[in-house]
């Protein structure tokens, strides 16, 4: 019998648990001049704000999983959060 009583990750609440919000770029192939985190840092409930410059060298690049093993195509480092250039629309710029 199906009761609808499954537990999903969104149902889990642990002591001291935090939530994250990702600011994504509205532009593709754009240069990042600067990111002002003042408004995010001063928002109620925000514990920390991270940009690509904060996570560069801390988070490993995301591996490119769609290149066939026998291919001559070279995988490009793909940062988890954009640092200097946005590669695609929707690429993460900031995590808070």
Domain count, the chain: 1
* CATH code where residue 59 lies: 3.90.1170.50
Which tens digits make up the pLDDT trace of 11-48? 899 999 999 999 999 999 999 999 999 999 999 999 99
CA dist., res. 44 & res. 52, Å (int): 22
Could you count the other beta carbons within 10 Å of the beta carbon of residue 94?
20
pTM higher than the cut 0.95: no
pLDDT of residue 78: 84
- Domain for residue 3, yes or no? no
Residue 1 has pLDDT above 70, yes or no: no
**Sign of torsion, CA 26 63 70 85?**
positive
- Domain for residue 5, yes or no? no
- Asked whether the beta carbons of 25 and 82 are under 8 A apart, the reply is yes
- Domain for residue 12, yes or no? no
- Domain for residue 31, yes or no? yes
Residue 4 has pLDDT above 80, yes or no: no
Which tens digits make up the pLDDT trace of 50-79? 999 999 889 888 877 777 878 888 777 789
Domain ranges, residue 52: 19-96
- Domain for residue 4, yes or no? no
- Domain for residue 68, yes or no? yes
- Domain for residue 10, yes or no? no
Could you tell me which of 84, 75, 77, 80 has the C-alpha nearest to residue 95? 80
- Domain for residue 13, yes or no? no
């Amino acid at each position: 019998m199906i009761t609808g009583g499954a537990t999903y990750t969104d149902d889990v609440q642990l002591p001291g648990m935090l939530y994250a919000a990702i600011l994504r770029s509205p532009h593709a192939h754009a240069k990042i001049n600067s990111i002002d985190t003042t408004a995010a840092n001063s928002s109620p409930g925000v514990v920390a704000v991270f940009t690509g410059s904060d996570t560069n060298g801390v988070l490993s690049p995301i591996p490119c999983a769609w290149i066939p093993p026998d291919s001559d195509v070279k995988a490009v480092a793909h940062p988890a959060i954009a640092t200097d250039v946005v590669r695609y629309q929707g690429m993460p710029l900031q995590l808070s």
